[in-house]
Amino acid sequence: MIDSVEQNSYDFIDAHSHIGRIRYAQQRYDDAVTAFERAVQTHRFSENEYLVDTWFWIARTHLKRNDSEQARPYLEKIAASDVKYDKKPQAVELLQKVS
């Protein structure tokens, strides 16, 4: 089904993000990271809350995999972002813990 969606659309990005969340809930963290990163790689729009939220999910997934080194760059991006994001304080707190 995902193959029928335009790859540069929000729907394509949204589909990969949802797949990532499903894999996360299933504790299939490697598959979750792959889906989230695919969503980020296909994102061709300006930085927005949706992209920042996907970074947050990537960071959380890396942390679940006990890989703080991979999580840190995403947490740093969130902390440095000017985008209004409700989980930014949580991301900053996680960044302080892994630094």
Q: Where exactly are the structural domains of the chain?
A: 2-98
Question: What pLDDT, on the 0 to 100 scale, is given for residue 47?
Answer: 81
pLDDT of 10-33, one tens digit each? 777 888 899 999 999 999 999 999
Question: What pLDDT, on the 0 to 100 scale, is given for residue 22?
Answer: 97
Question: What pLDDT, on the 0 to 100 scale, is given for residue 3?
Answer: 60
C-alpha closest to that of 16 among 42, 45, 48: 42
Place of tokens 């969503």: 39
Which fold does the domain 2-98 belong to in CATH?
A: 1.25.40
Largest Cα separation within the chain, whole Å, is 41
Q: Please, which contacts does 77-82 make with residues 24 or more away whose CB atoms are closer than 8 Å? A: 77/52, 78/52, 81/47, 81/52, 82/47
Quote the CA–CA distance of 52 and 59 in Å, as a whole number.
11
The pTM assigned to this predicted structure is 0.88
Record the tokens describing residue 83, joined without a space.
Answer: 């985008």
pLDDT of 43-53, one tens digit each? 766 888 888 99
Average pLDDT, integer, range 72-93:
96
